[in-house]
Chain A
Amino acid sequence: MAQEQKQPKKSSEEVTQDEVAPETDVAERKEALDDDVDAILDEIDEVLESNAEDFVKSFIQKGGQ
């Protein structure tokens, strides 16, 4: 467990992780995202209204501004 929590060394000048990361990091991040997709969709599946057709049909609003 202890090993899993080990943080990569950070120099004080290192910027917090953001978009300035080089292209390879971007690709890696996208890959990591893909791995999580199933987990995300499973959780969303659980809360989605059960009958999509009925829900869509009954979502009727009056116009506003």
Chain B
Amino acid sequence: MGTEVEYGVTVQGQPMANHMVASSQVVNAYASATARARRARWDFEEESPLRDARGFDMSRQVADPTQLTDEDMGLANVILTNGARLYVDHAHPEYSTPEVTSPRDIVLWDKAGEQVMLDASRMAALVPGSQPIHLYKNNTDNKGASYGAHENYLMRRSTPFGDIVRHLTPFFVSRQVVCGAGRVGIGQDGREQGYQITQRADFFEVEVGLETTLKRPIINTRDEPHADPEKYRRLHVIIGDANLAEVSTYLKVGTTALVLAMIEDRFITRDLGVDSPVASLRAVSHDPTLRHQVTMDDGRRLTAVQLQLEFLDLARKYVEDRYGDDADPQTKDVLARWESVLGRLERDPMLCARELDWVAKLSLLEQYRQRDGLDWTNAKLQLIDYQYSDIRPEKGLYHRLVGMGRIERLLDDAEVERAMHEPPHDTRAYFRGRCLEKYADAVAAASWDSVIFDLPGRESLQRVPTIDPLRGSKAHVGELIDRCETAAELFAELTHS
């Protein structure tokens, strides 16, 4: 699995600045400062953003230009030695984590991405004549624009897509009480006053669909596995918020992965469908007291927390049934934290202010409202919402709360620093990252499913496919890369030529 986050971007003193240019300056500054030699390009050969999981391709003519993500418009686009991708997407700098296999590793490489972005913006500021560029890990400007924080999960191709839609929709309607990032303002342009649980709910308009930039669907059908399409699909989840709190990210991907495992194993036999999912999604988001009840297809009325408890109950039984006492410690930890958080959300949401973004932000806002007597239309509250997500440690309010010991962390700074440069050990990101780190001169391009070498004495480029996400791990190629001093040696060993 992995995440991809588009960051909000501002240029100090220039509200009308060109965001594409500013985003490119950030990415290029990082690329120039870190690439020791030639800069490897992104390889688009395997990309197919118009492939629909329901089994058809959208024609390029009817596609909105923002959907054509495989056309290299000359925008900055680099691969990092940690296996991640740093690039410009739709006028935002974006960081995609390397492929990882556990929720904690998502948190680690996602946090590493924040640090990469921070370094990148600082490096861009060093370019003579440039204005400081500031980055925000949020999802809306509260004036009608939204940009995404996506999750990707590798799933078995044999799982019927209808099962995914049926079971995942009610899960996504309700999981926001755990992983929402919080927002001041209601409606796409934030015109109505108030606080809501998510940044993104108001931007979702349909239940199922291919689009990601307009008519956003709760279940996205983009079918671009970046892996063997016979065996796998990549479930592209576009409904999440960008989280800063480590526990929020951890539970977001940990609980979603558990639900997906249950769907793959056809473990869910209960019907947890909800009436009017899009309207329910928004209604849940608009009620931070968590009292709103959604109507279930079976006629029951449940709060989002109660609906999450149903999924938790299923997940506990599933893990017990499949693994018993042999369940891995992280799965047990996800279950325990999920239960703990849901229990407290039922009693008093404010009890989760140390762990969950939307509660931490709301807690801070309520304190301001009490002290200064502010109503929700006050610009100061909107400012606090934006500035919570400022990634600078000295300015970002999330970071200030961490500094004051007000937020629980799962990681330490030293491991985040390492993850900026080192790839995870247990996926193909290891091969990609190590090749970039050791043979930078010889890597012409790379992507999720290939590394392309430009080797001395060979006329054409040599493409090494990495089609299986779990091959190319340290156990698989670590010793080989350690042993091969040059890319030519490595290539010869890999191909026995």
Please give the residue numbers on chain A whose beta carbons come within 8 Å of chain B beta carbons, in ascending order: 18-19, 26, 30, 37-38, 40-41, 43-44, 47-49, 52-53, 55-65
Contact = CB atoms under 8 A, between A and B. Distances in A.
A60 B147 CA distance: 12
B409 interface: no
B474 to A, nearest CB: 32
Interface stretch (B84-92, B117-125, B465-473): B84-92
Most chain A CB atoms below 10 A, which of B90, B145, B367: B367
A65 B380 contact: no
Contacts, number: 110
A64 B9 CA distance: 12
B90 A61 contact: no
B397 A44 contact: yes
Contact of A59 (B350, B384, B386, B394): B386
B147 A61 contact: yes
B483 interface: no
A63 to B, nearest CB: 4
Contacts of A55: 379, 383, 386
Given A40-B404, A47-B397, A52-B382, A62 B10 contact: no
A16 to B, nearest CB: 12
A60 B19 CA distance: 10
Interface in B228-263: 238
Given A19-B343, A44-B397, A55-B379, 18 more contacts: A40-B364, A40-B401, A40-B406, A47-B400, A48-B383, A49-B387, A52-B379, A58-B15, A59-B15, A61-B8, A61-B9, A61-B147, A62-B91, A63-B213, A64-B6, A64-B146, A64-B148, A65-B66
Contacts of A19: 340, 343-344, 351
Given A64-B213, A65-B89, A59 B406 contact: no
B484 to A, nearest CB: 38
- What 8 A-B pairs come out closest when comparing CB atoms? A64-B147, A58-B15, A65-B148, A62-B91, A61-B141, A52-B379, A64-B90, A52-B383
A63 B143 contact: no
A63 B387 contact: no
B368 A47 contact: no
Nearest to B8: A61
B371 A59 contact: no
B150 interface: yes
B351 A64 contact: no
A56 B8 contact: no
A41 B387 CA distance: 14
Nearest to B149: A65
A17 to B, nearest CB: 12
B395 interface: yes
B212 interface: yes
Interface string B305-342: 00000000000000000000000000000000000100
B340 A65 contact: no
Given A59-B141, A63-B213, A48 B90 contact: no
B145 A44 contact: no
A61 B19 contact: yes
Nearest to A63: B145
A37 B366 CA distance: 11
A49 B406 CA distance: 21
Given A48-B387, A63-B146, A56 B395 contact: no
